[in-house]
Amino acid sequence: MDKQQLRKEIWEELEETGEARFPFPPHGRIPNFAGAKDAAERLTELDTWQDADAIKSNPDSPQLPVRRAALREGKTLYMAVPRLRDEDCFLKLDPAEIDDIDHATTIGGSSEVGVQVGPKEMEPIDLIVSGSVAVDEQGARVGKGEGYSDLEFAILREFGLVGDGTTTVSTVHEMQVVDREIPTDAHDVPIEHLCTPERAIATEVAGAKPSGIDWGALPAEKIEEIPILQRLHAQ
């Protein structure tokens, strides 16, 4: 399967059916969708959510209700700095320090009130929420094609903050759950739970999660662009 063709099909289907939501168009991004809040509510009903104290989430619009739910429930929330451009490449959102949760969980708000931290200043992550363009019920995921979600997991694993026992989830529209098998690479992080507005799915994930950074899969220019990769690569 051509992943870019699959992305195009999902983006077009969401747009043509009217299920895509702002920001428009859905193409080129983790698409926002009708029912994103309902999908988030299904996620919050899972035991793995309720047991989590520290959550890492992507910054995209469809996971905004997830981020707000995390802070409202007193969970520490981490988000990556865009494109991992700084040495302190994550933002920590402490619910005890935040007055306006709605603002703090937006992309702009998180950069204003979040505290930039490096991995050594972070607590272990219990749950990772990833945005997706497409997923299958075997736990394979297609993002928007830049690879940051998988790279962030790999960096955190290098510091012992995530592992095989860290739960991975994604909230998606039913149209994003495809019945075709999605090919995966060694650095791809499998998704263990999918939550749509209609249902929660425990996937058929087989095998362990990536053990760390796959340096052979990273182009030299990407290493040069990301300070923490430069440091880890030099060790």
Retrieve residue 97's tokens. Answer: 């320090």
Distance of CA 76 to the CA centre of its chain: 15
Architecture per CATH, domain 3-228, reads as 3-Layer(aba) Sandwich (3.40)
Domain boundaries, the chain: 3-228
pLDDT at residue 207, rounded to an integer = 66
Q: What is the pLDDT along the chain (235 residues), one digit of tens a residue?
A: 699 999 999 999 999 999 999 999 999 999 999 999 999 999 999 999 999 999 999 999 999 999 999 999 999 999 999 999 999 999 999 999 999 999 999 999 999 999 999 999 999 999 999 999 999 999 999 999 999 999 999 999 999 999 999 999 999 999 999 998 898 888 999 999 999 999 999 997 866 899 999 999 999 999 999 999 999 999 8
Beta bridge partners of 142: 134
Cα–Cα distance for residue pair 159/155, rounded to 1 Å = 7
pLDDT recorded at residue 39: 98
What pLDDT is recorded for position 37?
A: 98
